[in-house]
């Protein structure tokens, strides 16, 4: 099985490579059209700024390719946000797979960005097979996806928001499964095995 990690300026890839290796998966980092098209699984990570990453995707024409992909696809953190149609981060137009606008956390009394562990609940879909309700995952973010028809997991911090989205073959999580211990690694394993 060929697993691809999409190359971008915001990818936090070393920890993902390590986590995949622990579950027996050798992945390749690339932004090459043919390699992406011929893959069996695609992971789109991101830790960084939305406009910079979208600029890179457009330069490589990946903004045209990604929405047409049919393989199981997993967006992580910024990767989730860029799958939506727009982000408040620097007024950025994104990939438009989820008809959803990414919002900025606004609260003067709570820490932003949100950094650290939080629970996920109301879990739906095979991505969460064997994951207990209220399990902890590791988050680092200042922007969030509101609750919507695509929501497959929820988290509470300032607001109740979508910590996972899914539409057809596109799955996305706001947290970092590669940094979330056994339950995070189980989510990656589910993505490889069951989707």
Integer Cα distance of 38 and 2 in angstroms: 8
- Write out the H or E segment, with its range, that includes residue 159: strand 159-167
Catalytic, out of 133, 176, 185, 189: 176
Name residues whose C-beta falls within 8 Å of residue 183's C-beta, 6 or more positions apart in sequence.
Answer: 131, 132, 135, 136, 137
Q: Is 176 a catalytic residue?
A: yes
- Write out the H or E segment, with its range, that includes residue 160: strand 159-167
Catalytic, out of 84, 141, 171, 178: 178
Q: Is 178 a catalytic residue?
A: yes
Pairing of strands 84-87, 98-104: parallel
Name residues whose C-beta falls within 8 Å of residue 5's C-beta, 6 or more positions apart in sequence.
Answer: 11, 13, 16, 17, 27, 28, 29, 30, 42, 43, 44, 45
Q: Is 34 a catalytic residue?
A: no
Catalytic, out of 34, 77, 94, 148: 77
DSSP assignment of 20-57? HHHTT--EEEE--HHHHHT-SEEEE---S-HHHHHHHH
Q: Which residues are catalytic?
A: 77, 176, 178
């Amino acid at each position: 099985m060929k697993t691809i990690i999409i190359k971008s300026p915001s990818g936090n890839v070393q920890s993902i490579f390590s986590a995949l290796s622990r579950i027996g998966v050798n992945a390749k980092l690339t932004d090459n059209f043919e390699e992406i098209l011929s893959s069996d699984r695609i992971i789109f990570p991101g830790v960084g700024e939305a406009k910079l990453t979208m600029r890179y995707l457009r330069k490589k024409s990946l903004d045209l390719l990604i929405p047409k992909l049919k393989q199981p696809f997993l967006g992580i953190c910024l990767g989730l946000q860029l799958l939506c149609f727009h982000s408040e981060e620097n007024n950025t137009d994104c990939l438009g797979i989820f008809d959803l606008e990414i919002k900025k956390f606004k609260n003067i009394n709570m820490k932003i960005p949100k950094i650290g562990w939080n629970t996920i609940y109301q879990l739906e879909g095979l991505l969460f097979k064997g994951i207990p309700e209220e399990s902890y995952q590791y988050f680092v973010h200042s922007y969030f996806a509101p609750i919507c028809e695509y929501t497959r997991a929820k988290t509470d911090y300032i607001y109740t928001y979508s910590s996972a989205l899914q539409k057809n073959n596109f799955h996305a999580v706001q947290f970092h499964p590669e940094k979330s211990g056994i339950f995070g690694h189980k989510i990656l394993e589910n993505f490889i095995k069951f989707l």
